[in-house]
Amino acid sequence: MTSGKLLTDNPALYETRFPDPERLAGRWAEDCLRRYGAGPRVLDIGCGTGRDAAHLHAAGRTVIAADLSGTMLEYARAHHPGPEYTRADLRGFDLGEQSFDAVVCLDSALLYCHTNEEFDGFLSSCRRSLPPGGLLVAEMRNGAFFLGRTELLDKPSVDGFTWQETAYTSTTALYVDRAAQLLRRTRVWTAADGSPPVEQRSAWRLLPPQELRHFLAVHGFEVLALYDGPGPRTEAPWREGDLPRATADGDRLHLVARLASTRLTLVNSRITLGRRTCA
C-alpha cells in the first residue's frame, strides 16, 4: 500500500471494498429518470469507476461521465465502456456547448462541496448544463441524521475484505466538525502482507433537508422528491417498484429536482439579492 489517496488511486480496490454487483445505484438512478420523464442525455458527475454511468448507458441513454480523478477515469474507460468519460471538478464544471436532460450525482459525491461557495458552484454548473425542465438526481448522506444521533459516531466500524489475494482491514471513525458543518472521517488501512498501516482523512458536507431545499430554490430548482429511503445504500435496499417514503431523517437522502423556467429562476435570484441587501 502507498500513502496516496488509496481508493481513488486503486479503483479496483474501491470496487472490492464497496461492491455493487446488482448495480443498485445505477438502477435506482435510471428508475428516477424514467419516473420523472427525463430525456436521454445524462451527465454523471463524480462518476468514480464508471459502473453506474455504464448501467445508464446500457439502459439506452447517451451518457457523459465526469470525475476529477484521472486514475478513476482511466479505469472506467477500460472496465466500464460505453459512456464518454471526461475530467471535471463537480464544484465548478463547464462542458462547453453540451446540454443534458439530467445530471446524476451519486454516493455522496456532491458532499465534497465543503463550503457554500463550492455548493453554489456545483448548482450553478448544473443550471448551465440543463434546459428548463431538466432533472438533478442525487443520493448522499443526510445531515439531519446526525442531529442528536450518535450511533455512527460512538465507535469505529471495522470491515475486512480480500483483494489480489491479500486480506485487508479498514477501520473507520467518524466525527462531526460542527463549526465547519462537516462529517470528518479517519480511515486506517492494514494489510496482511506486512506493509505499514495507511491513515487517510476525508470529509463530507452535512446538508439537512431544509438547507438543501433552500440552495436548490435559490438556483431555480423545484424539489420533486426528497426522502430518506428506500435507496441503493439504505439498510433495506431499494428494489424495483419501491416508492419513496414520506420521511427525510434517515442516514441517506435521495433527491430529484427539476430546473424551473428562466423567469422563475430570475425571480428567485431577485428575492435572494433583496434579502442579502436587507441583511
Indicate the average pLDDT of the chain.
92
pLDDT given for residue 276 in this prediction: 46
- What's at 157, amino acid-wise? S
1-45 residue pLDDT tens: 444 577 778 899 999 989 999 999 999 999 999 999 999 999 999
122-136 residue pLDDT tens: 999 999 999 999 999
Residue pair 218/264 in contact (Cβ under 8 Å)? The answer is: no
pLDDT given for residue 4 in this prediction: 53
147-169 residue pLDDT tens: 999 999 999 999 999 988 999 99
Residue pair 236/230 in contact (Cβ under 8 Å)? The answer is: yes
Nearest to 32 by CA among 220, 223, 209: 223
181-240 residue pLDDT tens: 999 999 999 999 999 999 999 999 999 999 999 999 999 999 999 999 999 999 999 999
pLDDT given for residue 6 in this prediction: 77
pLDDT given for residue 262 in this prediction: 57
CA geometry: angle at 37 spanning 54 and 31, to 5°? 45
CA atoms of 184 and 147, how far apart (whole Å): 15
Between 13 and 253, where is the model more confident? 253
Instruction: Output the DSSP codes for 221-274.
Output: EEEEEEES-S-TTSSS---TTPPPPS---SSEEEEEEEE--HHHHHHHHHHHHH
169-193 residue pLDDT tens: 999 999 999 999 999 999 999 999 9
Between 275 and 157, where is the model more confident? 157
- What's at 183, amino acid-wise? L
pLDDT given for residue 97 in this prediction: 87
Question: Is residue 72 classed as helix, strand or coil in its secondary structure?
Answer: helix
94-108 residue pLDDT tens: 999 899 999 999 999
pLDDT band for 265, please (50, 70, 90 cuts): very low
CA atoms of 192 and 181, how far apart (whole Å): 36
Instruction: Please enumerate, as own/partner, the contacts of 8-13 that have beta carbons within 8 Å and a separation of 24 or more.
Output: 8/69, 8/71, 8/72, 9/71, 10/71, 11/48, 11/49, 11/71, 11/72, 11/75, 11/76, 11/79, 12/75, 12/163, 13/163, 13/168
Between 94 and 271, where is the model more confident? 94
CA atoms of 56 and 15, how far apart (whole Å): 18
Per-residue pLDDT at 272 exceeds 60: no
Between 269 and 172, where is the model more confident? 172
Q: What is the helix (H) or strand (E) element at residue 185, kind and residue range?
A: strand 182-191
pLDDT given for residue 74 in this prediction: 97
pLDDT given for residue 36 in this prediction: 97
Residue pair 131/124 in contact (Cβ under 8 Å)? The answer is: no
41-92 residue pLDDT tens: 999 999 999 999 999 999 999 999 999 999 999 999 999 999 999 999 999 9
| CB neighbours of residue 266 within 10 Å | 11
Between 251 and 5, where is the model more confident? 251
